[in-house]
Amino acid sequence: MASTEEDGSAEEKETNNKKRTKSAIAVAWLTFYNIAMTAGWLVLAMAMMRFYIQKGTHKGLYKSIARTLKFFQTVALVEVGHCAIGIVRTSVIVTGVQVCSRIFMVWFITNSIKQIQNEESVILFLVVWTLTEITRYSFYTFNLLNLLPYFIKWARYNMFIIMYPLGVAGELLTIYAALPFVRKTGMFSMRLPNKYNVSFDYYYFLIIVMLSYIPLFPQLYFHMLRQRRKVLLGEIIVEKDE
């Protein structure tokens, strides 16, 4: 019996050691990833400021940062994988919608339709994305290092109240500005007859995308408000009780 108990104890210890090792690897990877993404969006912010200071206009700004923007925004697909394998406790669907909608905005709207790249709405969502991502990734980095300053936590759970609606407005206005060019050129559309016997109109698809913001935006926005209440207001209540 003693031998059996010892064997069981040894197996349990081995299992716990494996879990700790996996956890340490996950934390190390997430720390590296978030530091890299924070740095990437800081580079974008500095490039945008430098361009505007030198040129005195927003025209041409998107073109000057397009390569860096496309790289870091596309790399964010890794975050869907983080959720899928369980090293980040966030909904795969919520993360997937947020990441893919941004990639769609970058690759299939702004990058594909050069005529809209100088629109003020493009600059609006770029500024919002940049400030949001610098705050978000720095929050994750310091949190993983157990060195989270309160002002970063405060910014993470307060800035979105204004930034999220502004970002959505920028995205919607950009898609709206793209509609005439999409309709005129027929880009990404398939007309019948064709060998696949399939019809697809990118113009109407974009209208559907715009309409999809009506149900999706409130859900994501109120989700963030609930998180804010839990993290910030929850701490205030605990302090009062103490």
Name the residues annotated as catalytic: 164, 171
d(CA 104, CA 109): 7
Q: What is the DSSP letter of 1?
A: -
Which tokens belong to 100? 């893919």
Which tokens belong to 215? 């149900």
Q: Which amino acid is at 141?
A: T
Beta bridge pairs of residue 200: 190
CA distances from residue 179 to 123, 139, 154, 208 in whole angstroms, order as listed: 18, 37, 38, 12
Listed residue (167, 162, 174) closest to 228, CA to CA: 162
d(CA 64, CA 46): 12
58 near 47, Cβ under 8 Å?
no
178 near 109, Cβ under 8 Å?
yes
Listed residue (61, 62, 63) closest to 53, CA to CA: 61
Listed residue (106, 45, 95, 46) closest to 71, CA to CA: 106
Beta bridge pairs of residue 190: 200
